[in-house]
Chains A and B, each alone.
Chain A
Amino acid sequence: LGAGQRFLHLAIAHSDRPTQRRDLIISDVSGEFFRQARDSREEARKLAFVGRADHFVLLLDGAKLLSAETRAASRMEADQILRSMLDVALLSDRSYVDVVFTKWDKILGSGERPAIEAFVADTRVLFEERFATRLGRLRFYYTALRTSPSGLLPPGYDVDQLLKPWLEETWLEEAPSRTRTVVASNRSFDRFGETI
């Protein structure tokens, strides 16, 4: 793997079914790769592992939504990442995409909460208009991972809702007759799980 690209392996199970383990491989990739993918079709194609993903999770940084200066840019960047992945067919009408608004506790504690919530609602409208028919599934989540000083949300808020579908649902299992995207890479890692 290149610099800035790591994959984390977690084996997890339901607490009431501890022997039924599921393996999760989660990408830990520098945001710089996605910034470059925004700018160039050639760079987007290099993110071949996206074509193998059972779930594509797009994070919108709640801290950037707090500022009026960076709010619209944050949405635009997320939109461009999704479209650049669709443009090179690493995402398709079979893909499961989760859009996650992070640090939601900060937004709830912000003096600009009404404006930000209206903006997020508008973002959902725009994304649904633009992507709902081009993806297999598009869902939205609001997470707060750390204990916040405001105490408005418990740490780990909404993460279980996000995690559960990752374990139980994959577009491949729901549409077994369909083949996956052919990955344009010779690396064994990128071709993991490819239909032969």
Chain B
Amino acid sequence: VKTALQLIMGLPMAGKTTFLAALWHVVDQPEVPTSLVLHEMPPQREYLNQIRDEWIKCRPVARTALSSQRTVNMVLTDRTTGNTAELLFPDLSGELFASQIADRRWSDDFDRLVQQAAGVLLFLNPASVVEPQAIEDVAALAEALGAPTETVSSAIEPWQHSHVPTQVQLVELLQFLRWRRRTDRMRVGLVVSAWDLIGAGVSPQDWIRQRLPLLHQFLECNSDWLTTATYGISAQGGTYSADTVQALLNGNPRPSKRIVVAGPHCDPHDITAPIKWLLESGE
């Protein structure tokens, strides 16, 4: 059984841990058809069970703190090929990636993960996208509203790294990877989480092109070293409002059916599809 480390990256609240919780449930409980199935139970599964216990009750999964990062492993078999691989998923805090952008450095531990990574899943949450705002657009809007256009210094919020548009931060993270793995081709699965907020009518790839054009162009222009696929995934199937939670719980006796997946060649609840796609790089 070969071992493959899959790096899961994304800014805070991008949905990384909720994805892991749902992934564990889907491979652990055969409720829906999936590309990958669990080959054997991991010897230690306390953390996976802990995050899944929240997910299965439709509760927000606790975010990963910098102090509680860990690597989980699952031995999965590709239902089509019969190939089995042990997959390692470091469950890293979003603050780690935010600090990499702010400080432009990363730890030796993270550096080892980058060097070992067979593939990357890069998460972004459409509900927390920071949009770029051009000064002339803001001025035009203020004028249209009849607001004074001159600068009022007391109203200016001090600049922070979190104000950087999301697409710029994600491109920066990819460039960091490129800097470290400059001789390798990399396979990066882009995951738009909370896909239930977007809904039908647009593909994940088109949504990226429309809402995050810089990221889209970066992926297109770097195809010489970057192989990408884009997925839209709602690991919980909806928001955490009381009405939605009740509807999700009552409407889906098999919790795996809450999951929504959109992307190339995947069933509507198959959250293992991006992992299968990543594994294809090693075949």
CA–CA, A80 and B28, complex, Å: 9
- Name the segment of B9-17, B39-47, B67-75, B199-207 touching the other chain: B39-47
Complex contact A73–B53 (CB within 8 A)? yes
Q: Give B50's nearest chain A residue, CB to CB.
A: A39
A-B contact pairs, 20 of them (CB 8 A): A38-B45, A38-B49, A39-B46, A39-B49, A40-B44, A40-B46, A41-B41, A68-B246, A68-B250, A72-B56, A72-B253, A72-B254, A73-B53, A73-B57, A76-B29, A76-B52, A80-B49, A87-B40, A122-B253, A130-B30
With a CB–CB cut-off of 8 A, which chain B residues contact A122?
A: 253-254
> Residue among A39, A71, A72, A79 with the most chain B CB within 10 A?
A72
Complex contact A70–B44 (CB within 8 A)? no
Please report which residues of chain A, range 97-119, place their CB below 8 angstroms from some CB of chain B when the two chains form the complex: 115, 118-119
Q: Give B54's nearest chain A residue, CB to CB.
A: A73
Chain A contact surface mostly: helix
A42 located at the interface, meaning its Cβ lies under 8 Å from any Cβ of chain B in the complex: yes
With A39-B46, A69-B249, A73-B57 as given contacts, are A87 and B255 in contact (CB-CB < 8 Å)? no
Task: Count residues of B near A (Cβ-Cβ below 8 Å).
Answer: 23
Complex contact A69–B57 (CB within 8 A)? yes
With a CB–CB cut-off of 8 A, which chain B residues contact A126?
A: 29-31
A143 located at the interface, meaning its Cβ lies under 8 Å from any Cβ of chain B in the complex: no
> Chain B 245-257, CB within 8 Å of chain A: the 1/0 string?
0100110011100
With a CB–CB cut-off of 8 A, which chain B residues contact A87?
A: 40-41
A95 located at the interface, meaning its Cβ lies under 8 Å from any Cβ of chain B in the complex: no
* Shortest beta-carbon contacts, A-B, top 4: A39-B46, A68-B249, A41-B43, A119-B253
Q: Give A79's nearest chain B residue, CB to CB.
A: B29
A83 located at the interface, meaning its Cβ lies under 8 Å from any Cβ of chain B in the complex: yes
Q: Give B252's nearest chain A residue, CB to CB.
A: A72
With a CB–CB cut-off of 8 A, which chain B residues contact A84?
A: 41
Q: Give A35's nearest chain B residue, CB to CB.
A: B49
Complex contact A73–B56 (CB within 8 A)? yes
B58 located at the interface, meaning its Cβ lies under 8 Å from any Cβ of chain A in the complex: yes
> Chain A 119-158, CB within 8 Å of chain B: the 1/0 string?
1001000100110000000000000000000000000000
With a CB–CB cut-off of 8 A, which chain A residues contact B250?
A: 68, 115
- B242 to chain A: closest CB distance in Å? 11
Chain B interface (Cβ within 8 Å of chain A)? Answer: 25, 28-31, 40-41, 43-46, 49, 52-53, 56-58, 246, 249-250, 253-255
CA–CA, A40 and B44, complex, Å: 5
Q: Give A67's nearest chain B residue, CB to CB.
A: B249
Q: Give A120's nearest chain B residue, CB to CB.
A: B253
- 16 further A-B contacts with Cβ under 8 Å, apart from A76-B29, A83-B41, are A38-B45, A40-B43, A40-B44, A40-B46, A41-B41, A72-B253, A72-B254, A72-B255, A76-B25, A76-B52, A79-B29, A80-B49, A84-B41, A118-B253, A122-B253, A122-B254
With a CB–CB cut-off of 8 A, which chain B residues contact A80?
A: 28, 49
With a CB–CB cut-off of 8 A, which chain B residues contact A70?
A: 57
With a CB–CB cut-off of 8 A, which chain B residues contact A68?
A: 246, 249-250
CA–CA, A72 and B41, complex, Å: 20
- A116 to chain B: closest CB distance in Å? 9
With a CB–CB cut-off of 8 A, which chain A residues contact B49?
A: 38-39, 80
With a CB–CB cut-off of 8 A, which chain B residues contact A72?
A: 56, 249, 253-255
Complex contact B31–A39 (CB within 8 A)? no
CA–CA, A71 and B273, complex, Å: 27
With a CB–CB cut-off of 8 A, which chain B residues contact A40?
A: 43-46
- A68 to chain B: closest CB distance in Å? 4
CA–CA, A119 and B251, complex, Å: 11
CA–CA, A100 and B32, complex, Å: 25
With a CB–CB cut-off of 8 A, which chain B residues contact A118?
A: 253
With a CB–CB cut-off of 8 A, which chain B residues contact A129?
A: 30
- B130 to chain A: closest CB distance in Å? 34
Please report which residues of chain A, range 27-41, place their CB below 8 angstroms from some CB of chain B when the two chains form the complex: 38-41
CA–CA, A172 and B46, complex, Å: 34
Q: Give B42's nearest chain A residue, CB to CB.
A: A41
CA–CA, A21 and B43, complex, Å: 42
CA–CA, A72 and B46, complex, Å: 18
With a CB–CB cut-off of 8 A, which chain B residues contact A73?
A: 53, 56-57
CA–CA, A157 and B253, complex, Å: 27
